[in-house]
Amino acid sequence: MKKTFYVTTPIYYVNARPHIGHAYTTINADFLARWHRLDGYDTFFLTGTDEHGEKIAQAAQRAGKPPQQFVDGVADAFKKAWETLHISYDDFIRTTEERHKQVVQRYLQEIYDRGDIYYGEYEGLYCVGCERFLTEKELVDGKCPDHGVEPEPRREGNYFFKMEKYRSWLRDHIQKHPDFIRPERYRNEVLAILSEPIGDLSISRPKSRVSWGIELPWDPEHVTYVWFDALLNYVSALGYPDGERFKKYWPAAQHMIGKDILKTHAVFWPTMLKAGDVEVYKHLNVGGHLLADGRKMSKSLGNVIDPFDWARKYGPDAVRYYLLKETPYGLDGVVSEPGLIERYNADLANDLGNLLQRVRTMVLKYKGGVLRRVDPGTQEEGVLRAQSNLPATVRRLVGELRFNQALEEVLQFVRSLNRYVNERAPWKIRDPEDLDRVLYTVVDGLRTASVLLEPALPGKMAELRAALALGELEVADVASPRGLADGHRIPEEAPILFPKIETEKKKEKKGAGSQPAAPSERPETVGYGDFARLDLRVARVLEVEPHPNADRLLVFRLDVGGEERTVVGGLAEHYRPEELVGKEVVLLANLKPRKLRGVVSQGMLLAAEGSGGRLALLTPDRDVEPGSKVS
């Protein structure tokens, strides 16, 4: 029997049209789903929409539409968006569907019958944006940190789920299963939440206030709290409890989410499963946020990037590849249109597209389009070694959620094929057999690369394989090199796979010729005004980890007075991560965010350079609150 794999995206609220944040999470999930299908798993990929609750009812009202009509429209927009981006979901669940409602009511009744739900009065601070009560601790300057608004004080009769009862079980489970929540920084965050009482969870809303929801089966005056409703989509879509899909795919589930919904998935959801006596999911994979100009993209900030606009201009695969390749999974990433163009031109147009073009031209010109499977010689050894290791390396990296590195490995291999072509210089080879050998090696290498890149570039890799007549392939077909048959013939015609994107700047340069910039004068002294423009702050180090792509860099998570920042510093040779946690440091906080080897640094730490180049971090000489100004 085939191994099973089940991957989900969050179900998206239908109060907003699909944007790049949704696309990012969904593309990551699609990448995993596609990889597992190609790697021989029986795979099920679920996405969908979250359509109940106050926020949605308000949005429908603003749009002047009845809620159901409104949510139907936005759910369709999500489906279209996923089609545009080549998202290969197997099912699309909507929480207003009958199949979902039935499961929610059944699940509630089961937990209620077991005595894990009770009625009580609740008084607290409610954020409509989050659709939950926030604790005092979560507020920053009295406001919700994610939505920037003061939560409303509310007092109402609610049903409660005995969540606190399962806290120690959950803590044990996370401790015993180190990869339950990944990457590790988020696991630590959850363990910190669980080290203190989490309280019980209010799971209903009085219908008099919110009517857009699923009624509690034992009290129709209340509707189910939207998160309790939404989280159950992961099993309702499988036909919980008796459906074939449920038996087959649960609990082999991997939920892909963004870090903003960590608590609901890492605390609410597993305790809900435990209370219903259902095995918990296998992994919670937590992604970072995509930032535009250094800040989280959001409608209210007006800095939302439209991935569909990019997809129209550059093709869906370019967008997928860029988002997967640019940012290590789990960390925040900055994306921009020039960044996409640069990545596309470098990796896809220059490295991969050109190689295909070159080799096709040579096979057609020198060999009439036919390849001969000639035994390799010593000059092929390097390529063959890299090629035979590649599938296993990619499998390992994908398993560790290092999607960007997995892609980089394949690109490195493609670059090594380019070097091999340059070194072997087929255009100079006189021996026909040796020429066959070189051309075969390159096409066979591209055959392997095409399979391993397919999860990121599904449309383009199908085109690449058509250009080389390779047909449908799986990872098993490229487990070892030289799988291409003797006498293989490639087609005479094929479109250019990745036409280079010309940028305005380059076009201008071509026309006008470029002028070297005048060296800027460096003033010897600065006025106070210059200094005052620097926003220097004290920050407390919350966490430090090695940079995933660079040995000399460390990635810091800092508390800058309620605001959290990620900062990259070249300190790996000077400090061990553990000796830095808890320290107070000085941060240049208004430095323009920039990406250092794939990780966005939101500021710079100040350090002094001692003799021999040894760096020492600056710290205040007595305790001050994080966020304090340095002047």
Q: Which residues bind ligand MSP (CB under 6 A)?
A: 10-13, 21-22, 24-25, 50, 230-231, 233, 257-258, 260-261, 289-290, 296-297
HSE-up of 322 (CA within 13 Å, CB side)? 27
Q: 258 vs 353, which CB is nearer to ligand MSP?
A: 258
Cβ contacts of 237 within 8 Å, gap of 6 or more: 46, 48, 91, 93, 99, 100, 245
86 in catalytic set: no
| Contact status, residue 257 vs residue 10, Cβ threshold 8 Å | yes
Q: 13 vs 180, which CB is nearer to ligand MSP?
A: 13
Q: 10 vs 353, which CB is nearer to ligand MSP?
A: 10
How many whole angstroms separate alpha carbon 156 and alpha carbon 535?
A: 44
| Shortest distance, position 301 Cβ to ligand MSP, whole Å | 10
| Contact status, residue 194 vs residue 171, Cβ threshold 8 Å | yes
Amino acid in the structure at residue 476: A
Q: Exactly one of 52, 55, 100, 144 is catalytic; which is it? A: 144
| Contact status, residue 246 vs residue 238, Cβ threshold 8 Å | yes
Q: Exactly one of 55, 79, 86, 127 is catalytic; which is it? A: 127
Q: Exactly one of 3, 299, 313, 507 is catalytic; which is it? A: 299
- Can you say how many angstroms the Cα of residue 215 is from the centroid of all Cα atoms in its chain? 34
Closest by CA to 286, choosing from 307, 309, 265, is 265
The H or E element that residue 221 is part of is: strand 219-224
Q: 11 vs 349, which CB is nearer to ligand MSP?
A: 11
Q: Exactly one of 282, 296, 367, 595 is catalytic; which is it? A: 296
- Can you say how many angstroms the Cα of residue 206 is from the centroid of all Cα atoms in its chain? 36
Which residue has the closest beta carbon to ligand MSP? 21
How many whole angstroms separate alpha carbon 572 and alpha carbon 552?
A: 5
| Shortest distance, position 231 Cβ to ligand MSP, whole Å | 5
| Shortest distance, position 321 Cβ to ligand MSP, whole Å | 17
Token pair, residue 245, equals: 């899909």
How many whole angstroms separate alpha carbon 462 and alpha carbon 453?
A: 10
222 in catalytic set: no
Strand partners, 616: 608
506 torsion bin: left (phi>0), alpha (psi -120 to 50), beta (else): alpha
Amino acid in the structure at residue 220: P
Return the number of other C-beta atoms located less than 10 Å from residue 376's C-beta: 17
How many whole angstroms separate alpha carbon 42 and alpha carbon 236?
A: 19
Q: 11 vs 125, which CB is nearer to ligand MSP?
A: 11
| Shortest distance, position 255 Cβ to ligand MSP, whole Å | 8
| Shortest distance, position 70 Cβ to ligand MSP, whole Å | 15
177 in catalytic set: no
How many whole angstroms separate alpha carbon 209 and alpha carbon 404?
A: 46
127 in catalytic set: yes
289 in catalytic set: no
Q: 280 vs 363, which CB is nearer to ligand MSP?
A: 280
| Shortest distance, position 125 Cβ to ligand MSP, whole Å | 19
Q: 21 vs 328, which CB is nearer to ligand MSP?
A: 21
| Shortest distance, position 601 Cβ to ligand MSP, whole Å | 18
259 in catalytic set: no
CA angle 621, 624, 628 (to 5 degrees): 115
How many whole angstroms separate alpha carbon 480 and alpha carbon 435?
A: 22
| Shortest distance, position 173 Cβ to ligand MSP, whole Å | 20
Residue 611 to residues 475, 553, 571, 607, 619, Cα–Cα distance (Å):
53, 20, 15, 13, 19
Q: 173 vs 263, which CB is nearer to ligand MSP?
A: 263
Catalytic residues: 19, 22, 127, 130, 144, 147, 296, 299
